[in-house]
Homo-oligomer: A and B are copies of this chain.
């Protein structure tokens, strides 16, 4: 297995990215190779400072950088020797099994659609986040930002994609799927959500348990998968970040709230494209980068993109 890591992407690139890469090494097995994509002299300089043998990694030199503020499509097209463009090229050619970056999210999405493309039959890709419940289960939430306005058939397909993720990446048998809504009754919500309810209820093989309200999130009552549009999903994960921040700022100590730290959660896989790609938070440092790499490994290990191809 070969995992590509964009060393140039993120607010703390390249140093924090390389530190996270080094930390992830001890979790990777001999046949799992981490490919550092970025400016070779920076990589060698940093590894030297850390007294880490460069041969533990594969290094692919790139000469350009897509900055966080760059226009995504323009930067992706024009900076052909950037770490993001090179990473996607390697993914496409089969030189990588997975690719992750904490860089320009827009460019990562552009790269996905320009290079590896959507899986045929997928209506809209989604960003997936895995969050911890208080009872030590994890749950899958999608979409968390790609598609702010969803149509009913997209909601249904997110239920299917989320189930595949929960089954193959998290190892859940017959995962339960809920539809985020503002009431338990079928008649609640926007027209699109109401229509999605009808589609999901009837869909064979989907373990749909109905509407889930915001007060079930993170609790014992949570489903394994929760489906929502990318607007609401984005607000949910960021509000979780806000609460974690408040928890820390109040000097509270609790094992569960510690797990809510986004740095422990890693990145956000894009599901529905022909490759295993994970996007990290731009402010990722050492720990978050390590978890992003390990999450990418999990997605590759589950053969997620292939599993979706077979199911859709």
Min CB distance, A105 to chain B, in Å? Answer: 10
Against B, the Cβ 8 Å flags (1 = close, 0 = not) of A63-77 are: 000000000000000
Check if A238 sits within 8 Å of B252, measured CB to CB. no
Q: Does A189 contact B (CB under 8 A)?
A: yes
Against B, the Cβ 8 Å flags (1 = close, 0 = not) of A220-248 are: 00000000101110111111011101100
In the complex, what distance in Å separates the CA atom of A249 from the CA atom of B193?
31
Size category of the A interface is: 35 or more
- A219-B239 contact, Cβ under 8 Å, with A145-B182, A234-B214: no
Q: Does A29 contact B (CB under 8 A)?
A: no
Contacts of A215 in B (CB 8 A): 238-239, 241-242, 245
Contacts of A241 in B (CB 8 A): 214-215
- A250-B256 contact, Cβ under 8 Å, with A190-B148, A215-B245, A231-B190: yes
Check if A218 sits within 8 Å of B243, measured CB to CB. yes
Q: Does A149 contact B (CB under 8 A)?
A: yes
Q: Does A217 contact B (CB under 8 A)?
A: yes
In the complex, what distance in Å separates the CA atom of A119 from the CA atom of B229?
32
How many copies of the chain does the oligomer comprise?
A: 2
Check if A231 sits within 8 Å of B189, measured CB to CB. yes
Min CB distance, A54 to chain B, in Å? Answer: 37
Q: Does A213 contact B (CB under 8 A)?
A: yes
Which of B148, B239, B254 contacts A214, CB < 8 Å?
Answer: B239
Contacts of A236 in B (CB 8 A): 214, 235, 239
In the complex, what distance in Å separates the CA atom of A149 from the CA atom of B188?
12
Check if A242 sits within 8 Å of B257, measured CB to CB. no
Which of B182, B213, B252 contacts A148, CB < 8 Å?
Answer: B182
Contacts of A250 in B (CB 8 A): 134, 254, 256-257
Q: Does A128 contact B (CB under 8 A)?
A: no
Q: Does A36 contact B (CB under 8 A)?
A: no
Check if B148 sits within 8 Å of A231, measured CB to CB. no
Min CB distance, A77 to chain B, in Å? Answer: 19
Given contacts A214-B242, A215-B238, A239-B239, 14 further A-B contacts (CB under 8 A): A134-B249, A134-B250, A145-B182, A148-B189, A148-B190, A148-B193, A182-B230, A213-B235, A214-B236, A214-B241, A232-B235, A235-B235, A250-B254, A250-B257
